[in-house]
Structure 1
């Protein structure tokens, strides 16, 4: 009898086990490689983000002057105190009004300037640079210029007097001061918002506009029914950015009004600074910061949910 020659084929089960072993080793190597690349970023986030948040969270549960080595634990005492503090209530209302005005005007001004800069006009690059200059200008310098401009003998009242109108004392009326602060904030950031909208507009498909133009849609109709709906993700981003900046506002307010007059511009950032660094109540000031954080996260989550529901059919 002749013996059978040739290689012996492995059984199907053995081949599957071999592939599985090779695949498992490859997955392990990929996991280790990904962990090696992510470890530095995770370490930086842990040291500079997570740890400060946890430390501040503990500080908000204590009574601390910022210098004493011992922190007296008071639990939720600072938050209970906030609930009954009329100055906090005023600061919260002022911040909400200020944030609403900044968000609405940021979207309107940013989109309007972006539409103008997207038009076929000469020197568009120069105009874009001019509109972006306030963004890179120091906030302190901007607030000082606006403070002198809104002075009773300043530029704005001087211009009003030339047309026979007596200008008010802008920064001594709480509502006029809040309006001035809102307009100054929007003016400073209009270039940034316009660049965001302009970038998003240039990525929109031309075929949609061509089809609408063939159907007889005018310029305003194309903007209203095509541009604005397609830019809704960018609008959401602009609103969130404006909201975060409003709740973190401090430098512009400090230089322009210092929270006055009579608390008319006393936003949460200014109130937190006064309680923490002027009165030395670090626990109470940190509690104010955490309340602001929760409010921003809550409003952002609601906006995110609303924008997601609008995109669903």
Structure 2
């Protein structure tokens, strides 16, 4: 027999009011966080949009130019398209390598037994190590007389100029970035693998599915929510790459490793063009938002939540 759900008592046609003062207490607790969000997120966001409409030097009076900064970026600045291409190449290469290697390593660690947690910690250490320290270590390794070329010299191999060769510099940045960031995705994907019921894999094995069939037909669909999260976060992070090219190559040789955030920084603080730098920042914001929106538009088709 069905029972009625409990309902709130009604007095004089009105629901009982909450405990007096609870709204003010909640507002008091929320105020510091909301104030920080307003001061450090909303106001700088609005200010950058306003500045992008001006020719705004670091020192001197700003001059309103409307959309001229955006017009110059799209039609009068060939360097913008170069750095945008570099950033897209970095984002695609880094994201693919990061996710493929993270998936492979997390699967290996999942079957490693009691040693799995130990190696997860080792892979995660670069994530919590300061990026500047990691970049400086890699710079010492990849210089012409660095650790890598000294090691190759032991086998009679004349090592290349990893950071000053336009054909190798971007690859060096990608390798360093994957090493730095792969640990985060390993942890996330490892948690996703732990959430897959062993009964599903056992049932697939009994039905005659081989190891690869179980991986592609059972593991990947069940892991798709974790993979989707890792993909979105990795792509967003890859478009913001700055420290690696700034400390390893300074955007060179030429413009081969110059990225949009590094170019933005140079325009604002080296070329004294805060207005143009703000326009670049908003262009990056729009690009990232469009790519993220595209990913979420395909979420229902690509992600399986029927775990």
TM-score (norm 2): 0.87
Q: How many residues align?
A: 296
SS in 1 for 2:160: coil
Q: Cα RMSD over matched residues?
A: 2.5
Q: Which residue of 1 aligns with 2:139?
A: 147
- The offset of 1:205, in angstroms, is 2.3
- Tell me if 1:21 matches 2:14: yes
SS of the residue 2:119 aligns to = helix
- In structure 2, relative to structure 1, the CA distance for the partners of 1:18 and 1:121 (3 Å cut) is closer
The partner residue of 1:273 within 254, 265, 270 is 265
**Is the Cα contact below 8 Å between 1:94 and 1:265 reproduced in 2?**
yes
Structure with more of its chain in helix, by fraction: 1
Contact persistence 2:228–2:303 (CA under 8 A): no
Q: Closer, same or farther in 2 for the Cα pair 1:175/1:308, shift >3 Å? A: farther
CA gap 1:21/1:93 in 2 versus in 1, 3 angstroms:
same
Indicate the larger mover: 90-99 or 107-116: 107-116
Q: Which runs of 5+ in 2 are unaligned?
A: 1-8
Counterpart check, 1:77 vs 2:85: no
Q: Distance in 2 between matches of 1:168 and 1:79?
A: 40
Residue 165 of structure 1 deviates from its aligned partner by 4.0
Q: Distance in 2 between matches of 1:207 and 1:121?
A: 18
Residue 248, structure 1, aligned to residue 253, structure 2:
no
**2:45 maps to which of 34, 43, 53:** 53
Matches within 5 A, 1:57-206: 57-68=49-60, 70-83=61-74, 84-206=76-198
Q: From the superposition, tell whether residues 19 and 225 of structure 1 become closer, same or farther in structure 2 (CA, over 3 Å).
A: farther
Structure (1 or 2) with the larger CA radius of gyration = 1
Paired residue for 2:5? none
- TM-score (ref. length: structure 1): 0.86
1:158-184: per-residue Cα shift (whole Å, max 9, x none)?
Answer: 343444543321212223111110111
C-alpha distance in 1 between matches for 2:286 and 2:137: 34
